[in-house]
Amino acid sequence: MPPMSPEFSTSVKLKYVKLGYQYLVNHILTLTLIPIITAISVEILRLGPDGLLSLWTSLHFDLVQILCSAFFIIFAATVYFMSKPRTIFLVDYACFKPPVTCRVPFSTFMEHSRLILPNNPKSVEFQMRILERSGLGEETCLPPAIHYIPPKPTMNAARGEAELVIFSAMDALFQKTELKPKDIDILIVNCSLFSPTPSLSAMVINKYKLRSNIKSFNLSGMGCSAGLISIDLARDLLQVHPNSNAVVVSTEIITPNYYQGNERAMLLPNCLFRMGGAAILLSNRRSERRRSKYRLVHVVRTHKGADDKAFRCVFEEQDKEGKVGISLSKDLMAIAGEALKSNITTIGPLVLPASEQLLFLLTLIGRKIFNPKWKPYIPDFKQAFEHFCIHAGGRAVIDELQKNLQLSSEHVEASRMTLHRWGNTSSSSLWYELSYIESKGRMKKGDRIWQIAFGSGFKCNSAVWKCNRTIKTPLHGPWDDCIDRYPVHIPEVVKL
């Protein structure tokens, strides 16, 4: 057997040093209390029953002191339990699975592009290059109106897509949870680019004949991170409305937003965005504790809209020919990185173990006092979470977060496979990713999940969940007929 190389030996020793450091710092309170409790136990054994009895009789308590102490304890306990936030449970969720007839293979997409833009071969070639490097697969779907040549993005077609996606997700949620429409107290629907009158939330109320006193909200224009904004809004409402159920519907309607012009910055969304939607049931009812899948721990929202570049990096506007589209700025990734840093700064102290926070603090002090050129310490978020759901906005987004957060390929597998199978489904992509992890049988009781989403404005939002129970592989869901094929190898470039 060849001798162990010095580099490997050193790296192994450093690994165990780091593990020892993490254990020491994270369990410092326990390690401190053990000798104190041991000393007290030894002293109690030394005194014996007679010594303890004489010690108790030597203490003089009158009735007033006893009553005052009891009152104070009861008052403190009452204040604590009344001020404690209600626990928010995620009972279950359902993702929309588009029909096979909506599938758009690369060949179909490119053929349509050539027919729609016959006089602009450069625009067609640009879309082909984007598609080759996008990370999307051959089974992503577009709504029926986009399959026409040229596309027919009418209001009726857009409403038809909304009804198909939202009602399918809601029906699946009702079937999974056995929830009755009359039991919904709060309804929140988020869809960034399609905002008809009456609203999408009113459409749901009309379809399922929900109660007249339901608290309904319709969020629009908030981009791909609107799903977590809806979760945050639902959490706040559930804090003030006891014994309530909240349903959140996250989707993006593609039909009215398919760009048919020549501006490259506006053609990019055509290559990435696809059909998708999800319906989520949240509750603060204690009776839902046992069957709920997750418990909401934190929601952290970061908004960079005060900066002009950040505000305009994802912008709906008209091109020179008057055609409306979504323009994506070249600065998008840099702005997303800054938003992520701000979000991490806020969420880090809430979730990171003491060992990581101490290292970060010491590095920060060292850079301020000794040497500003010291490399900043990037906290190891793998110590805080078992699973990561990164918004499947595109291959570049996932690559950047994997690099910045120093994640392994397995940590970003759910995001990459979701992008490959479903494309960028906007705010609902996080739920397809969570469903992927469950379908792989990886979600265990006590596991912590970090959902990260980016959206126009510019926003970076995070949600932290904790798994309530080990989740069995779902029998019905978006991945049920293809999970065995995943993960798949996704080449850097797919030649078309």
Range name among 281-285, 342-346, 483-487 with the lowest pLDDT average: 342-346
Residue 17 in this model has a pLDDT that exceeds 60: no
**Angle, nearest 10°, between helix axes 106-116 and 121-132?**
160
Beta carbons of 285 and 225 less than 8 angstroms apart: no
Q: What CATH number belongs to 88-344+352-472?
A: 3.40.47.10
Range name among 357-361, 387-391, 427-431, 449-453 with the lowest pLDDT average: 357-361
Is 149 in a helix, a strand, or coil? coil
Q: Where are the alpha helices (H) located in 352-490, listed in sequence order?
A: 354-369, 395-404, 413-422, 429-439
C-alpha closest to that of 493 among 138, 128, 140, 141 = 128
Residue 10 in this model has a pLDDT that exceeds 80: no
Q: What is the pLDDT of residues 259-304, one digit of tens each?
A: 988 899 999 999 999 999 999 999 999 999 999 999 999 999 999 9
DSSP string, 175-235: HHH---GGG--EEEEE-SS---SS-HHHHHHHHHT--TT-EEEEE-S-GGGHHHHHHHHHH
pLDDT at 312: 94
**Most confident region among 17-26, 98-107, 117-126 by mean pLDDT:** 98-107
Percent of the chain with pLDDT over 70: 92
Beta carbons of 168 and 141 less than 8 angstroms apart: no
pLDDT at 363: 79
Residue 344 in this model has a pLDDT that exceeds 80: yes
Residue 248 in this model has a pLDDT that exceeds 70: yes
C-alpha closest to that of 252 among 192, 312, 341, 342 = 192
Q: Report CA-CA distances (Å) from 301 to 58, 129, 190, 228, 336.
A: 57, 34, 16, 9, 13
Range name among 51-60, 66-75, 242-251, 323-332 with the lowest pLDDT average: 51-60
Residue 476 in this model has a pLDDT that exceeds 70: yes
d(CA 9, CA 161): 59
Range name among 176-190, 244-258, 356-370 with the lowest pLDDT average: 356-370
Residue 354 in this model has a pLDDT that exceeds 70: yes
Residue 47 in this model has a pLDDT that exceeds 80: no
- The residues assigned a catalytic role are 224, 303, 387, 391, 420, 424
d(CA 264, CA 442): 40
Residue 337 in this model has a pLDDT that exceeds 50: yes
d(CA 290, CA 297): 17
Over the chain, what is the mean pLDDT?
89
- For the chain, which residues make up each domain, given as ranges? 88-344+352-472
Beta carbons of 282 and 241 less than 8 angstroms apart: no
Peptide bond preceding 144 in cis form (omega within 30 of 0)? no
Mean pLDDT of 147-156: 92
C-alpha closest to that of 477 among 419, 438, 441 = 438
Q: What is the pLDDT of residues 163-215, one digit of tens each?
A: 999 999 999 999 999 999 999 999 999 999 999 999 999 999 999 999 999 99
pLDDT band at 94, cuts 50/70/90? very high
Residue 22 in this model has a pLDDT that exceeds 80: no
Residue 110 in this model has a pLDDT that exceeds 80: yes
d(CA 431, CA 413): 14
Residue 15 in this model has a pLDDT that exceeds 60: no
Q: Report CA-CA distances (Å) from 80 to 74, 77, 85.
A: 10, 5, 10
Q: What is the pLDDT of residues 384-435, one digit of tens each?
A: 999 999 999 999 999 999 998 999 999 999 999 999 999 999 999 999 999 9
Beta carbons of 226 and 196 less than 8 angstroms apart: no
pLDDT at 21: 53
Percent of the chain with pLDDT over 90: 70
pTM score: 0.86
Mean pLDDT of 367-383: 80
